[in-house]
Structure 1
Amino acid sequence: MAEFSKQDRIRIFTSLFKGRSDVFAKRWEKWDGGGSGYSPVYSDWSKKKFTALSGLFVEKHLIGDITVGLYPIPQDHTSHFIVADFDDGNWHEQAKCLIDECAKNDVTAYLERSRSGKGGHVWCFFEQNYSAYKSRVIFFSLLRASNNIGDFDKDDSFDRLFPNQDRLTGKGLGNLIALPLQGQPRKNGNSIFVDPTSLEPFPDQWKLLSSVEKVSVEKLDALFAKFTVPKENPVHTKNGEILITLFEYASLPKGDMNSHLTTFLREELNFFNAEYAMKKNMGIPTYALEKYFKTVLSEGGEVLVPRGFLTHLKLYLQEQGIPLKILDRRNHPEAISLHLSFELFDHQKEARTYFEKADCGVLIAPPGSGKTIMGLDLIAKKKLPALILVHRKQIYDQWLERIESFLNIPKKDVGQFASNKKSVKSPITVAMVQSLARQKDWTEKRRV
């Protein structure tokens, strides 16, 4: 006789994987294998009344007849568990790092191999329902401490944490999560809990689940307080100031940064990707599509930010009373000489004056105001080789024509980086952003 009866298994399962009980989702697949997804289960043809999740459906899930998707946030904006989903090539290492970090904080987490076998879910269960917002704050902190989220990544750049939102908006059921132990993938050793070190399945899944260590509310509150108290690490260098070194970028020593400066850079240098939101709202897969464009990097002991951000960074440090020193290590090429065959209008001259003493800036002007002409004038006045980046072929051709017409430089003498043309030349090169992004090997690209 089995140690756990059918009723025992259903009771254990529903005591751990708890969410909304008044509704659940069921996985569907197209008959030709061309797609799959989850949809709420209704009890009427008009689709106005949901079907509650009962032991019968749990049993069907466990034996493999259906796959249940659970909505983890009830209407009180709490949850009984939290799950981190890892599906990259090194998912095992990432999951193990998170589990180890949980253990350092006296939190027991469990690893489930995904139904595909190509990823894993790290589960943490609570003794009582707990604020989804607070539990997400705790796990984002643990993900950051385990290096699964970088210091300069926005928290919600890791969008594979379930519950997937802090609270329900009232406009829907929220994101769902597929429950483990589904009968069909279990036959292949997937959708089951495994040892986080060896990835070997636990021999008795029900014995493991019946002895799961749940986290108390008191422990969760203590962790929330720990991770939300600001850490006041003073900024320090040998000379009592932050050293900013200028290359093609601006570099700051990571050891000289406190939590406030880290947060400032994280918030200012991550830009939301509108394409991600558009596809998300349309129900189109967003796999491999970044939620944010990140323009701050951490390499070794240095933090790299765009040089154009230097003015904002200097203002912030001054407001915080943090002294700084700037060391210029930029490459200074030989001066160029260009002969202009045009004269700026008064409004163009006025705009140019703002750039005369500036190293960088953004020129914003309406259509037809002559931005291309002003750009050529600035290149001539700065007397430095220029790289002009464009994103459309029409604008690319326009720059080539203007350079030939107003600087008397034949198109053949202008550097061009687009399609099958890959030449970099002084004094001016025009390049398509898409071509630069696709370029893998730069060893043969020389300045002519």
Structure 2
Amino acid sequence: MPLKEYLASLSKEDLISLLMQLADNQREVKDFLLQKMSKIQQQKKVRESALQEQSVVLDNQRLVSRKSTPQEKINLYKSLFVGRQDVFALRWYNTKSGRSGYSPVCANKWVVGKCDLKKYSCATCPYKSPVKLDDSYIFNHLAGRDEFCRDVIGVYPLMDGNVCRFLAMDFDAHAPKEQTSIVSTHANDAKTAYAHKNEGNFWKDDILAVHKTCTDFGVSSYIEISRSGNGGHLWFSFPCTKLYLKIFARAIIFPEITLRRSRKCPETKNDSLILSTAGKSENSQMKNCV
């Protein structure tokens, strides 16, 4: 009798007894089973946390309106955009050059003898002293009173355990001529990019197609027009791991756009889905600012 048939013929109790004997006699088998058990327990905690946070999000969405208090609106924001609390970024704008970007908020910024942007990046600076995100910064972000948007905050979504709590997809119409992309920040500092030739302004059709597909699958998503007006963002609020996001992107999002483009624009049907992993270091975590 083949080994596979023999194992299939065993009862649950006999199979457990056999595995316990192997674990007692073989250290490698015991270590393997313990690793599997630890992984399953971690996945269970992630699922339980996801259910609890989704319940909080739904409660906040039902209760918060334009008439709600500032604190209630701040709480809603914090329940949707959960990220690292020990560090965050603020938008900067150079009035002379017109350049803008995001930098981590640091207690030592511009301090003589410590802050040297020509020598160090913020992530590698030996004197970095990140400022924790508090409600006052979120209030300013929501109020939007600075004419140059320098009160807009950036969140670092990669959490401990390689889990992120929300997903942002960027649909651009102002990318380089040969490429436009959809980029998602998610667990394990991976980035998902959907690239194609920029033969026309397809971002509106793309974002609506993905939004509809997600709705059909029961996944809530929210459309936002970008500041420039030449693109849009699609937001999702749910905890996910790297594996879950791969399945989500490959099984739901990517096929929908590929099918739509193969019908309307055959010359761009050779689109590709690229997954790259940059690592788990603190510096790589700070690269993903949303």
Give the SS at the match of 2:138.
Answer: helix
Displacement after TM superposition at 1:137 (Å): 3.8
Displacement after TM superposition at 1:98 (Å): 0.2
Which of these residues, 138, 150, 154, is aligned with residue 272 of structure 2?
154
Number of aligned residue pairs: give it: 169
**Within-5 A mapping of 1:157-306:** 168-172=280-284, 173-177=286-290
Quickly say closer, same or farther: Cα 1:133–1:26, change in 2 above 3 A. farther
Matched, 1:11 2:91: no
Quickly say closer, same or farther: Cα 1:81–1:132, change in 2 above 3 A. farther
Give the SS at the match of 2:257.
Answer: coil
Hey, what's the Cα distance between the residues in 1 that align with 2:132 and 2:139? 14
Hey, what's the Cα distance between the residues in 2 that align with 1:2 and 1:153? 42
Structure 2 portions without partners, runs of 5+? 1-64, 115-126, 174-200, 262-267
* Residue type of the alignment partner of 1:156: I
Quickly say closer, same or farther: Cα 1:38–1:168, change in 2 above 3 A. same
Matched, 1:38 2:116: no
* Residue type of the alignment partner of 2:140: K
Hey, what's the Cα distance between the residues in 2 that align with 1:51 and 1:156? 34
Quickly say closer, same or farther: Cα 1:70–1:85, change in 2 above 3 A. same
Matched, 1:144 2:251: no
Between the two structures, name the one with larger relative contact order (CA 8 Å, sep ≥ 6): 2
Instruction: Report the counterpart of residue 428 of structure 1 in structure 2.
Output: none
Quickly say closer, same or farther: Cα 1:136–1:122, change in 2 above 3 A. farther
**Within-5 A mapping of 1:326-341:** none
Hey, what's the Cα distance between the residues in 2 that align with 1:52 and 1:143? 35
Matched, 1:57 2:149: no
Hey, what's the Cα distance between the residues in 1 that align with 2:246 and 2:287? 15
**Aligned residues with identical type, % of pairs:** 29
Displacement after TM superposition at 1:109 (Å): 1.1
Quickly say closer, same or farther: Cα 1:170–1:113, change in 2 above 3 A. same
* Contact 1:144–1:151 (CA under 8 A) maintained in structure 2: no
* Contact 1:77–1:166 (CA under 8 A) maintained in structure 2: no
Hey, what's the Cα distance between the residues in 2 that align with 1:36 and 1:154? 30
Displacement after TM superposition at 1:82 (Å): 1.2
* Contact 1:165–1:174 (CA under 8 A) maintained in structure 2: no
Hey, what's the Cα distance between the residues in 1 that align with 2:225 and 2:281? 31
Matched, 1:121 2:204: no
Displacement after TM superposition at 1:134 (Å): 2.3
1:203-232 C-alpha deviation (Å, 9 max, x unpaired)? xxxxxxxxxxxxxxxxxxxxxxxxxxxxxx
Matched, 1:93 2:93: no
Quickly say closer, same or farther: Cα 1:167–1:121, change in 2 above 3 A. farther
Instruction: Report the counterpart of residue 247 of structure 1 in structure 2.
Output: none
Hey, what's the Cα distance between the residues in 2 that align with 1:3 and 1:120? 27
Structure 1 portions without partners, runs of 5+? 158-163, 178-448
Give the SS at the match of 1:37.
Answer: strand
Hey, what's the Cα distance between the residues in 2 that align with 1:112 and 1:13? 15
Hey, what's the Cα distance between the residues in 2 that align with 1:42 and 1:134? 34
Give the SS at the match of 2:141.
Answer: helix
* Residue type of the alignment partner of 1:19: G
1:337-366 C-alpha deviation (Å, 9 max, x unpaired)? xxxxxxxxxxxxxxxxxxxxxxxxxxxxxx
Hey, what's the Cα distance between the residues in 1 that align with 2:129 and 2:203? 39
Hey, what's the Cα distance between the residues in 2 that align with 1:40 and 1:69? 8
Displacement after TM superposition at 1:151 (Å): 6.9
* Contact 1:43–1:51 (CA under 8 A) maintained in structure 2: yes
* Contact 1:38–1:69 (CA under 8 A) maintained in structure 2: yes
Displacement after TM superposition at 1:120 (Å): 0.8
1:350-386 C-alpha deviation (Å, 9 max, x unpaired)? xxxxxxxxxxxxxxxxxxxxxxxxxxxxxxxxxxxxx
Instruction: Report the counterpart of residue 135 of structure 1 in structure 2.
Output: 245
Displacement after TM superposition at 1:18 (Å): 1.1
Q: TM-score, normalised by structure 2?
A: 0.52
Instruction: Report the counterpart of residue 184 of structure 2 in structure 1.
Output: none
* Residue type of the alignment partner of 1:28: W
Instruction: Report the counterpart of residue 27 of structure 1 in structure 2.
Output: 91
Give the SS at the match of 1:97.
Answer: helix
Hey, what's the Cα distance between the residues in 2 that align with 1:133 and 1:53? 29
Cα RMSD (Å): 2.6
* Bigger radius of gyration: 1
Hey, what's the Cα distance between the residues in 1 that align with 2:246 and 2:130? 28
Which of these residues, 135, 146, 156, is aligned with residue 71 of structure 1?
156
Give the SS at the match of 2:102.
Answer: strand
Hey, what's the Cα distance between the residues in 1 that align with 2:250 and 2:71? 36
Quickly say closer, same or farther: Cα 1:18–1:34, change in 2 above 3 A. same
Give the SS at the match of 1:49.
Answer: coil
Give the SS at the match of 1:141.
Answer: helix
Matched, 1:104 2:189: no
1:58-89 C-alpha deviation (Å, 9 max, x unpaired)? 01111124111111112321111112111122
Give the SS at the match of 2:91.
Answer: strand
